[in-house]
């Protein structure tokens, strides 16, 4: 009996050790498979996630953090309302393309041009999210698969648009023309870090206000807890669904716009899909158990893993996909705490029958 | 029209249907056992990579298929550990497994074979194809189902076995009961968790074979993110059919048909992105039609 009680008290600690131990064994195995020099790999990882000359790598971590946190907020907004919108990828891509397209048209307006293109990115992202909302509410399609399947049209249509009608043929790649310099997001003085992170911080604050100080945030949270309660209270559930999804999609669109205006300055086919920004965002939102306050931390954590792994590839020839593997394993170990999500999704008919 | 409907078109239907069918069969038993497994994409992807790995190093398609199955079982065990033992959310685990398989297959591709993007090698042995002399005289059957890989015939057989198995066999009954009400099974002295674990292993096995069909049946190469949404199409098919094997089979033949059609109409000068989009559009359209019908008949208005 005694030993059982002690085990019970120690259980969380053992769990944490178990998780860390497994992750370390996994990293060790993966590094061993790629014949890496361990100390070199470790040095490369630390140096390029938070170090570098004039902190250059730290700033690149920050710029990745902006995108990942943004996508995490977009996912979190929907999940919090019990809406399993995993179509963030499509919303991100559509937003990014719309922003690049408008950016080319309004490149003479300077600051106002930046605003217009970001707004158009927002609108495109929100439209794409509303489309999946429409399918869910009026057609009875489960949001989980509906939003996911809309990723593919978004990806292929933008891919078509940038490789045929709007292609910069001379660059040789499927991408749009380079935006003119006066519509790029300005950099922080003496760095290569653009102002995108400030915009994401602004979005973060707005979302905090919406979550904790507005009627919509309150209703949306209640819907996440219990749909039938919200329905029985006579609240307009459809309106809440559409508002929540529009907010989620608009944030994804902003993230796409920042990637276009701040980092790449054009829309290249696959530039937002390949780094798995949307999926990393979803994972980051789940890592913090849908608590908005900690999203920047999770975003920084995952961004640091990404840039660290990129550094490891440069220095020790370890493929950078190790970051993706580590993220997946981390979320697997965190996932045991999230039993409530199933209840949310099954009550919405996602589980079918 | 003759450009589209040439012999190559008919023989590609079976080839393209098989991976989706095998994966969807795996998904359907999970569905019947009440496990919401939407990680089929990851299962297929890792299976495809492991098939190439095994076939390359052992120079044998059988070993390739075997390693592919091991890849699927590996993910099944991970799924079971985190879903059954640690009571994790199946949707989140599925998302994590998709990402894990994508990362792992790309990582291993680059660290073992030292290439990125595509790996192909003449030493990758392909799954043998079977000639059926009986149907050689019937032109349409000969075009459609003759000279296909073993896995195609296997998958057709599995459809019917699974149908009878779920309907009449004792173990099939247990699987259905686990899905409907695990407490009933518990009270009759059978551990529902054990049944679920076996179901997950079976799903991993089938999805591994699906991956093998994808990578070493016709082409003998592995491409990064090779499954390219096929797992999701399988998930949608499973959801639409409620996990019943026979309707699933018919629906997936439709998807396979569209898939091979999209390959053929590329020759007509349509841009590649639009033709690649076609299977997803059809999938979405079927999903919308069926869901809308369900909504109207059962008036299951959610919001």
Query: Which domains does chain B possess?
Result: 7-127+138-298 (1.10.3470)
Can you give the C-alpha Rg of chain A in angstroms? 21
Q: Is residue A96 part of a domain?
A: yes
Angle between helices A295-316 and A38-50 (to 10 degrees): 130
Whether residue A112 lies inside any domain: the answer is yes
d(CA B229, nearest CA chain A) in Å: 8
Quick one: average pLDDT of A197-204? Answer: 94
Closest partner CB to A352 (pick from B78, B108, B239): B239
What is the token pair recorded at B51? Answer: 């098939």
Lowest mean pLDDT among A6-15, A132-141, A157-166, B72-81: A6-15
Using CB atoms, which residue from A137, A283, A335 is nearest to B89?
A335
Of B88, B70, B62, B52, nearest in space to B224 by CA: B52
Q: Are A338 and A286 in contact (CB under 8 A)?
A: yes
Closest CA to A79 of B96, B91, B284: B91
Least confident of A301-310, B3-12, B69-78, B276-285: B3-12
Between positions 107 and 126 of B, the ones with CB within 8 A of A are: 107-108, 110-112, 116
- The model's pLDDT over B205-250, given as tens digits with 9 standing for 90+, comes to 999 999 999 998 878 889 888 888 889 999 999 998 888 999 999 9
pLDDT value of position A345: 42
CA–CA dist B300, B303 (Å, integer): 9
Which residues in chain A are closer than 8 Å to B223, comparing Cβ atoms? Answer: none
CB contact under 8 A, A339 and B280: no
Scanning B33-84, the segments in alpha helix (DSSP H) are 40-58, 61-80
Asked whether residue A338 is domain-assigned, the answer is no
Q: Can you spell out the DSSP letters for A263-286?
A: IISS-BTTTTTTTTHHHHHHHHHH
Nearest CA in chain B to A83: B303
Residue of B nearest to A333 (CA): B82
Instruction: Name which of A25-29, A107-111, A124-128 the model is least confident about.
Output: A107-111
| Helix, strand, coil in percent for chain B, rounding step 5 | 75, 5, 20
Q: What is the pLDDT of residues B248-278, one digit of tens each?
A: 999 999 998 888 888 888 777 788 888 888 8
Tokens of B29: 């038993």
- Distance between first and last Cα of chain B: 46
Q: Which residue has the tokens 């569209």?
A: B258
ipTM more than 0.90? no
- Name the B residues in 164-193 with CB < 8 Å from any A CB: none
Does residue A300 form part of some domain?
A: no
Burial class (CB in 10 A: 0-12, 13-18, 19+), A29: exposed
Read off the DSSP letter of residue B301: -
Whether B24 has its CB under 8 Å from any CB of chain A: the answer is: no
Tell me the pLDDT tens digit for each residue of B122-180.
888 888 888 877 777 777 777 777 778 888 999 999 999 999 999 999 999 999 999 88
Select from B100, B295, B300 the Cβ nearest to the Cβ of A328.
Answer: B100
- Residue A194: inside a domain: yes
* Residue A125 included in any domain: yes
> Which residues face B221 on adjacent strands?
B120
Of A156, A335, A351, the CB nearest to B88: A335
Report CA torsion sign: A182, A184, A186, A187.
Answer: negative
Flag whether residue B295 sits within 8 Å of chain A, measured between CB atoms.
yes
Which residue from A335, A327, A285 is spatially nearest to A305, judged by alpha carbons? A327
- The C-alpha angle with vertex B8 and arms to B6 and B11, in degrees rounded to 5, equals 120
The residues near A57 (Cβ < 8 Å, ≥ 6 apart) are: A47, A48, A49, A50, A51, A307, A311
Q: For residue B300, what pLDDT is reported?
A: 65
Using a CB-CB cut-off of 8 Å, the residues of chain A touching B291 are 135, 139-142
Mean pLDDT of A242-255: 95
| Arithmetic mean of pLDDT, B99-121 | 89
pLDDT at A96 over 50: yes
Cβ–Cβ of B292/A164 closer than 8 Å?
no
Q: Choose among A345, A353, A338, A124: nearest CA to A252.
A: A124
DSSP classification of residue A185: P
A61 in a structural domain? no
Give me the residues paired with residue B119 across strands: B222
Please give, rounded to a whole number of angstroms, the shortest distance from the CA of B301 to a CA of chain A.
7
- Residue-wise burial string across B79-90, b where 16 or more C-beta atoms lie within 10 A, e elsewhere: bbebbbebebbb
Chain CA centroid to CA A210, Å = 19
Question: Which residues sit opposite A194 in a β-bridge?
Answer: A187
Per residue in A263-312, pLDDT tens? Answer: 888 898 888 888 889 999 999 998 888 889 999 999 999 999 999 898 88
Mean pLDDT of A99-104: 92
Contact flag B291-A156 (C-beta cutoff 8 Å): no
Number of domains chain A contains: 1
Residue A315 lies in a domain: no
pLDDT surpassing 70 at residue A231: yes
pLDDT by residue (tens digit) across A38-60?
888 888 888 888 776 777 788 88
Secondary structure class of A187 (helix, strand, coil): strand
Q: State the residue range of the domain holding A163.
A: 66-293
């Amino acid at each position: 009996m005694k030993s059982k009680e002690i085990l019970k008290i120690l259980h969380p600690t053992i769990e944490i050790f178990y998780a860390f131990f497994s992750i370390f064994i996994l990293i060790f195995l993966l590094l061993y498979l790629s014949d890496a020099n361990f100390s070199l790999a470790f040095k490369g990882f630390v140096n390029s996630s938070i170090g570098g000359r004039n902190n250059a790598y730290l700033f690149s971590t920050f710029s990745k953090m902006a995108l990942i946190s943004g996508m995490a907020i977009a996912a979190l907004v929907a999940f919090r309302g019990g809406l399993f919108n995993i179509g963030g990828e499509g919303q991100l891509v559509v937003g990014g393309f719309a922003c690049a397209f408008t950016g080319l048209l309004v490149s003479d307006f300077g600051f106002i041009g930046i605003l217009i293109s970001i707004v158009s990115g927002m609108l495109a992202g929100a439209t794409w999210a509303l489309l999946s909302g429409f399918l869910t509410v009026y057609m009875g399609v489960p949001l989980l698969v509906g939003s996911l399947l809309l990723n593919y049209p978004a990806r292929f249509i933008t891919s078509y648009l940038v490789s045929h009608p709007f292609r910069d043929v001379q660059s040789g790649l499927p991408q749009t023309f380079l935006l003119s310099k006066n519509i790029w997001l300005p950099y922080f003085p003496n760095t290569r870090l653009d102002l995108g992170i400030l915009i994401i911080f602004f979005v973060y604050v707005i979302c905090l206000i919406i979550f904790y100080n507005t009627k919509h945030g309150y209703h949306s949270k209640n819907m996440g807890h219990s749909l039938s309660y919200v329905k029985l209270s006579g609240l307009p559930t459809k309106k809440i669904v559409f508002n929540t999804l529009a907010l989620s999609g608009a944030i994804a669109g902003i993230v796409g716009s920042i990637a276009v205006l701040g980092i790449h300055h054009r829309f290249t086919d696959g530039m937002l899909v390949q780094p798995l920004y949307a999926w990393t965002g979803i994972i980051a939102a789940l890592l913090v158990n849908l608590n908005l306050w900690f999203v920047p931390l999770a975003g920084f954590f995952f961004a640091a893993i990404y840039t660290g792994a990129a550094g490891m590839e440069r220095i020790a020839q370890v493929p950078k996909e190790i970051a993706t593997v580590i993220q997946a394993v981390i979320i697997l170990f965190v996932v045991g705490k999230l039993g409530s999500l199933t209840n949310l999704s099954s009550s919405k008919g996602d589980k079918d029958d | 029209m003759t450009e589209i409907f040439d012999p190559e078109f008919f023989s590609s239907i079976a080839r393209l249907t098989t991976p989706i069918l095998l994966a969807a069969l795996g998904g359907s038993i999970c569905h019947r056992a009440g496990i919401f497994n939407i990680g089929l994409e990851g299962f297929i992807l890792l299976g495809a990579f492991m098939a190439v790995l095994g076939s390359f190093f052992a120079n044998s398609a059988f070993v390739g298929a075997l390693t592919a199955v091991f890849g699927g079982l590996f993910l099944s065990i991970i799924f079971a550990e985190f879903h059954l033992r640690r009571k994790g959310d199946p949707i989140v685990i599925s998302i994590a497994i998709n990402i894990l398989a994508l990362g792992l297959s790309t990582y291993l591709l680059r660290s073992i074979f030292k290439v990125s993007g595509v790996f192909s090698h003449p030493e990758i042995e392909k799954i043998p194809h079977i000639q059926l002399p009986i149907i050689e005289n019937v032109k349409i059957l000969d075009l459609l189902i003759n000279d296909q890989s073993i896995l195609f015939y296997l998958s057709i057989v599995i459809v019917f076995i699974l149908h009878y198995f779920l309907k009449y066999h004792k173990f099939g009954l247990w699987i259905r009961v686990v899905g409907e009400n695990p407490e009933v099974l518990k009270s009759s002295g059978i551990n529902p968790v054990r049944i679920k674990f076996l179901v997950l292993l079976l799903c991993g096995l089938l999805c591994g074979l699906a991956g093998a069909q994808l990578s070493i049946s016709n082409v003998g190469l592995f491409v990064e993110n090779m499954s390219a949404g096929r797992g999701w199409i399988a998930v949608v098919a499973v959801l639409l059919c409620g996990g019943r094997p026979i309707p699933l089979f018919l629906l997936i033949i439709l998807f396979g048909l569209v898939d091979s059609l999209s390959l053929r109409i590329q020759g007509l000068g349509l841009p590649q992105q639009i033709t690649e989009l076609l299977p997803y559009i059809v999938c979405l359209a079927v999903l919308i039609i069926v869901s809308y019908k369900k909504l109207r008949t059962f008036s299951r208005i959610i919001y």
